[in-house]
Amino acid sequence: MKLLIVIPAHNEEKIIEENVNKVIDFMKTQKDYSWHLLIGENGSSDETIKILDKLSKKYARKIFSYKSLPARSKSEAIKRAWFSTDADFYLHMDADLSTDLKHIPKLVNGLSEGYDLVIGSRAMKTSEVEKSLKRGIISFCYNLLVRVLFSLNVKDLQCGFKAINKRTLNEIIKQTKYLSEGFMDTEMLILSANKGFKIKEIPVKWKDDRKSKFNIARVTTSFLKNILNVKRDLILGRYK
Ligand SMILES: Nc1nc2c(ncn2[C@@H]2O[C@H](COP(=O)(O)OP(=O)(O)O)[C@@H](O)[C@H]2O)c(=O)[nH]1
Ligand SMILES: [Mg+2]
């Protein structure tokens, strides 16, 4: 079994080296399956690419690589990176390692048990979360809206810590089309639930200790527009 871990990265010179080292050190403790860490970079104007070059020399090609992708967003970078490398299971997580790495084996176990998607959740009773009140309220309202509009039984749509199997990649991710910022997470969950794919949500330990790269007002507006696009496309049968 092979796991492909994708970390999207855009102007991450401050943290990318330390965090790639951390992920690789952690993954070296995972002996039951093979894995590859792929950084899906795009559009960085800082030292990120230089650092990634250095890391490529440090680590064996089998376990680490990066790609500078012709992507316009976090979601597009993840989608392209996932399709660029063959594996059995596909995971994405954020460069700031907001979600504790100890949950990676839980995602893998869930997929091995037969779930099609296993997703980190900051909204379950046993989740341990440190995030700002503003962020908490916006994400609560957003999740509620999507749950009601699509009768979706998922508590946290947008946690940057998710894994899927190959069937989900080929039947769901292939069809996603609203890729601004991180919206693919929401679209893939709506489409997966609609098709009866098995989704497992797991509580995670999550902390938010730096300023987000996203502008909350802009992201909220674009997400609301995208939700309506997905609703319309479902009604008109525009997804396969
Ligand atoms: N490839 C790529 N990654 C991005 C882009 N924008 C943000 N990211 C990455 O998405 C992840 C989440 O970003 P972050 O600022 O932590 O957002 P947060 O989810 O609001 O905390 C990080 O790994 C970023 O480097 C982008 O345009 N392209
Ligand atoms: Mg973050």
Nearest ligand 1 atom, CA 158: 19
Convert the pLDDT of each residue in 44-70 to its tens digit: 999 999 999 999 999 999 999 999 999
**Can you give 96-128 as a three-state secondary structure string?**
CCCECHHHHHHHHHHHHCCCCEEEEECCCCCCE
The CATH architecture annotation of domain 2-235 reads Alpha-Beta Complex (3.90)
Tokens of 68: 């500078």
pTM of model > 0.95: yes
Q: Domain ranges in the chain?
A: 2-235
Q: Does residue 132 carry a pLDDT above 90?
A: no
> Mean pLDDT in the chain?
97
Q: Could you list which residues have their CB under 5 Å from ion ligand 2? A: 94, 96, 98
182 CA to middle of ligand 1, Å?
A: 8
**Overall average pLDDT of the 19-44 stretch:** 98
Convert the pLDDT of each residue in 177-232 to its tens digit: 999 999 999 999 999 999 999 999 999 999 988 889 999 999 999 999 999 999 99
Mutate to test the pocket of ligand 1, among 48, 72, 74 (most ligand atoms within 8 A of CB): 74
Provide CB contacts within 8 A for 217, sequence distance 6+. Answer: none
Tokens of 125: 């009773």
Q: Does residue 34 carry a pLDDT above 90?
A: yes
Residue 92 in contact with ligand 1 by CB distance below 6 A: no
Residue 74 in contact with ligand 1 by CB distance below 6 A: yes
Residue 120 in contact with ligand 1 by CB distance below 6 A: no
Residue 41 in contact with ligand 1 by CB distance below 6 A: yes
* pLDDT score recorded for residue 124: 97
> Token match 């690789």: residue?
24
Upper half-sphere CA count for residue 162 (Cβ side, 13 Å):
29
> Token match 């508590």: residue?
155
Q: Does residue 21 carry a pLDDT above 90?
A: yes
